[in-house]
Amino acid sequence: MVNSVAPRVESLAISGIKFIPKEYVRTKEEQTSITNIFEEEKKEEGPQVPTIDLERIDSEDIKLREKCREELKKAAMDWGVMHLVNHGISDELLERVKKAGEVFFQQPVEEKEKYANDQETGKIAGYGSKLANNASGQLEWEDYFFHLVFPEEKRDMSIWPKTPSDYTEATSEYAKQLRILVTKILSILSIGLGLEEGRLEQEVGGMEELLLQMKINYYPKCPQPELALGVEAHTDVSALTFILHNMVPGLQLFYQGKWVTAKCVPNSIIMHIGDTIEILSNGKYKSILHRGLVNKDKVRISWAVFCEPPKEKIILKPVLEVVSEEEPALFPPRTFAQHIQQKLCQETQEEFKN
């Protein structure tokens, strides 16, 4: 299939169209489960994404500390996603990061095009939209901005937004503070598996090699939200993913056979367990299937930071300590690059079947 550059979704949205182009229309099967996201968010019945309060994560009181760590471990094993509150990153910094991203996206499309990526040549950093490179040619109702934010020496500052002026400072500071939180989370997850606390951090590349990639997702208003998806159902390939959003609902998790809508919890960071940690833990920690819905009334923006191991340097496989005769390895050894490739192949096969 020849890739063609799709128009920016924002350009479509502001053109006044009443019907979305057919490339954005999901399959009939998907449409049966796409509902009004605002109605869904109000629902109180049924399972809810757990909220984990990290205030006591380093408490000197052993009981309080253990309780907090146990709750996080349980959420990682049961759901693989959670709202983190009292995570140690100030509300003021989170607001600065969000404001900077919002101001960048408020610029005219032609301004943002100066930062355009070129996926066909492998240049994925910058401003972009999904290309119709899957078998069905389906597109998602979003534009995005993608760049590496940590380690600092691996960043390409030439593609970072110049507008607003606070973008670089706010985003860099957030990345630094998030990296500290990553170490804390990985140590708790390690202890939860009966490992040394630094083990999972080491397995995903440590301070030098673990990459933090930020993707700002911009979901314009959609005239037919019941037919479209902002992001199709997927699991993250990362070790961990951390998400901020502008308090507009949209994230749904596939839990116990049903789509569950994540509530908007003020000043929280949503954290996903990604495939990498699921593999290392031999499936004890879950990488949950999730997707993004869109709506007619409000633009939704989310800031996802994917914590990814190096593509070739590390072999991903369940750590020896969690494998036994009773619980054999569920995942064959692979590099991170091979894992990504394998997922792409599986998706293509699924689409041809459909």
157 in a structural domain: yes
Determine the pLDDT at residue 59.
Answer: 87
73 in a structural domain: yes
Please indicate whether residue 272 is annotated as part of the active site. no
DSSP secondary structure string for all residues of 98-124 = HHHHHHHHHS-HHHHGGGB-BGGGTB-
Determine the pLDDT at residue 148.
Answer: 98
Q: Write the pLDDT tens digit of every residue in 217-246.
A: 999 999 999 999 999 999 999 999 999 999
13 in a structural domain: no
Cβ-proximal residues to 342 (8 Å cutoff; 6+ apart), any chain: 334
Helix, strand, or coil (residue 10): helix
Choice among 87, 98, 130, 215 that is catalytic: 215
The total number of structural domains that make up the chain: 1
Measured from the Cβ of residue 27, the count of other Cβ atoms closer than 10 Å reads 12
Choice among 154, 234, 258, 296 that is catalytic: 234
Determine the pLDDT at residue 132.
Answer: 62
- Beta bridge pairs of residue 270: 83, 243
Measured CA to CA in angstroms, residue 130 lies from 11, 14, 118, 273 at distances of 14, 18, 11, 24
Please indicate whether residue 215 is annotated as part of the active site. yes
CATH number at residue 283: 2.60.120.330
Determine the pLDDT at residue 285.
Answer: 98
Q: Write the pLDDT tens digit of every residue in 36-46.
A: 999 999 999 99
221 in a structural domain: yes
Determine the pLDDT at residue 306.
Answer: 98
**What residues in the chain have per-residue pLDDT under 50?**
1-4, 352
Q: SS3 sequence, 200-229?
A: HHHHCCHHHHCEEEEEEEEECCCCCCCCCC
d(CA 67, CA 60): 12
d(CA 266, CA 183): 23
Choice among 130, 236, 272, 275 that is catalytic: 236
Determine the pLDDT at residue 278.
Answer: 98
Determine the pLDDT at residue 3.
Answer: 41
The kind and range of the H/E element at 245 are: strand 240-245
Q: Are 142 and 128 in contact (CB under 8 A)?
A: no
Domain that holds residue 194: 27-352
17 in a structural domain: no
Determine the pLDDT at residue 248.
Answer: 98
Rg of the chain over CA atoms, in angstroms?
20
Choice among 73, 112, 147, 290 that is catalytic: 290
